[in-house]
A and B are shown apart, each in its own frame.
Chain A
Amino acid sequence: MKKLNTILLGSLFVSLLAINSCDPFDELYLTLAMDIQLNTEGAGSDISIVDTLCLSEFEDYDDNKDKIEEIRYVSSAYLTLDATIGLQAQTLKLYLYQEDGITELFNYTIQNFYADSTKIKPLAIVLTQQEKNNISTYLANPQKDKCFVGKLTATNVQPNNTLYFLKSKLDFLTELKIKPQ
């Protein structure tokens, strides 16, 4: 009887292994690039711009919403798309908040900001582990749409006596893990 059980269990194990190895689908991942546009024009020594985006604005998220198992933060960057020549600031700060606009996910400071230099080369934003965890926690329960509020502030902006403009964006990448069909 014991021998029969062993044979049956062995057969079951082999069958499960065979069935499992016959699944043609691997785990699915999609990289989702999102950006928050931060544009302004005016005069004055300080800048403050806020914009919002939601996951549901992206087709890759919307199409696969019900099958997403996990959303993981990958990377982020700041870049100046266009700006008044010579635009600079003593300090430029970037913030990312949850949709309430209060709960901070990360902030990043650029001292001695020169718009021209980030036009040539985007600035990779390096987050602390705590900041990455903040984002991952916020992105838990991926079936629920999540919105983000991006904010840019700048102080001691030059030239501050004439009209200037700044077109910039905060890019961030996430990875969607999707259940195989």
Chain B
Amino acid sequence: MKLFLSTVLLSVLLFSSLSFSQIGVNLNSLASNDAKEYVKPVSTWFGTFFNSGTYYDASVADFFGFKFNLIGMWTIIPENQKSFNPNPQLTGVGDVGPTATVFGNKASYYLGSKGFYTYPSGLSLNAVPSGIYQFAASTYNTELLLRFFPRTKFDETKVGIFGFGIKHEISSYIPMLPVDIAVQILYNNFNFEFNDGDPVNYTKLKSNNFAFNVHASKTFAGMFIVYSGLQYESSSMDFSYYFEDKNNYYPATGNKIQNLSVDGDNNFRFTLGGAVKLGLFVVNADLNLTTLTTFTTGLSLDF
């Protein structure tokens, strides 16, 4: 079994605290058009993950403010993200039944000229738990949010994260408004590369995620916050892997590194949440209704 790619895709879910089974995934055997559909939910997940947990209060300090947030997330994987209709594009092979995506569990198959080909199974996940940390500093009703993990090499693996957000409280221009309102723009980037010198094991992943939101909050008794927001978001992923064509069905593209560009299924989200301020600390939780419904909780140092 190609444990290597299992490791890669599990590492992609690097924030997860789960201990996955050794079943993993084996997308080396997938031709590029099917591989694209197989990994597409990962791109969607990145878009959901990186564009979550970026606010709990629309009020932004006009003199100086600082936040450090630890955010936990629980992303539900719906049934429509667990399978796709494969298209092997081979003469003599008709319609193939739905097969698992990277998050799915039931693999399909077809009878080709060299015998049965079986599609890879997925990770069999109903949900993906994850987490991230971030810093934010603010002045003049404007906040700069940063997420950063320097590009670091661990043996043959390089990994790095960079993300930022800029938020501005527009309600500061409108006196006597009963709620605070802010707009925020976000960009997050994730890079992963594995290269042990063997092209069969080569894997590279670059995820780019963008979001823009308008959110509002209301603070009660100086410590209870209710917040909500609407967000437009998009995600794309460049993915390189080695396609191992054991049956030589694809002489033109087989046994070579494939470079894919995959857009995530991210568009809009609605967020509703609440937070409690306890001195310098804030605890918050929210629900995000989007392609992959996500619950987030946060613990923040906020002053």
Contacts and interface: CB of A to CB of B under 8 A. Distances in A.
Contacts of A77: 111, 115-116
A103 interface: no
Interface in B85-124: 92, 105-109, 111-116, 118-119, 121, 124
B1 interface: yes
Interface size class of B (residues with CB under 8 A): 20 to 34
B115 A30 contact: no
Interface stretch (B15-23, B186-194, B204-212): B15-23
A173 B124 contact: no
Nearest to B118: A31
In terms of DSSP, what is the predominant structure of the interface of chain B? loop
Nearest to A78: B115
Interface residues of A, number: 32
Interface string A64-82: 1001000000110101000
B186 to A, nearest CB: 26
A163 to B, nearest CB: 26
A63 B74 CA distance: 29
Interface in A80-123: 120-122
Given A31-B121, A60-B1, A122-B113, 12 more contacts: A24-B125, A27-B124, A31-B109, A33-B118, A63-B1, A64-B22, A74-B109, A77-B111, A77-B115, A79-B114, A120-B113, A171-B115
Interface of A: 22-33, 35, 59-60, 63-64, 67, 74-75, 77, 79, 120-122, 124, 169, 171, 173, 178, 180-181
Interface of B: 1, 18-23, 74, 82, 92, 105-109, 111-116, 118-119, 121, 124-129
